[in-house]
């Protein structure tokens, strides 16, 4: 029973971070009331790989 509760709490925490990422740093805005979290998520935005337009066109041709 304890394992199920911990698994649910972990999944809720991860989904909350994903919602914050999509709602604020992904759009270039600051996270209100938690600037340290916004900074950490902003670093993730900068580190995320992005496919450029020309690379995307090359992948479509294959």
Vertex 14: Cα angle to 25 and 28 (nearest 5)? 5
Length of the chain: 62
Check: CB of residue 29 under 8 Å from CB of residue 45: no
Examine the pLDDT at 61 and tell me if it is beyond 80. no
For residue range 7-59, what is the model confidence (pLDDT) as tens digits?
999 999 999 888 887 887 767 777 788 888 878 877 877 777 777 777 777 77
């Amino acid at each position: 029973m304890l394992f199920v509760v911990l698994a649910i709490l972990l999944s809720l925490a991860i989904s909350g971070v994903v919602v914050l990422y999509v709602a604020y740093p992904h759009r270039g805005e600051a996270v209100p009331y938690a600037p340290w979290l916004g900074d950490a998520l902003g670093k993730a935005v900068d580190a995320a790989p992005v496919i450029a337009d020309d690379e995307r066109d090359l992948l479509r041709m294959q």
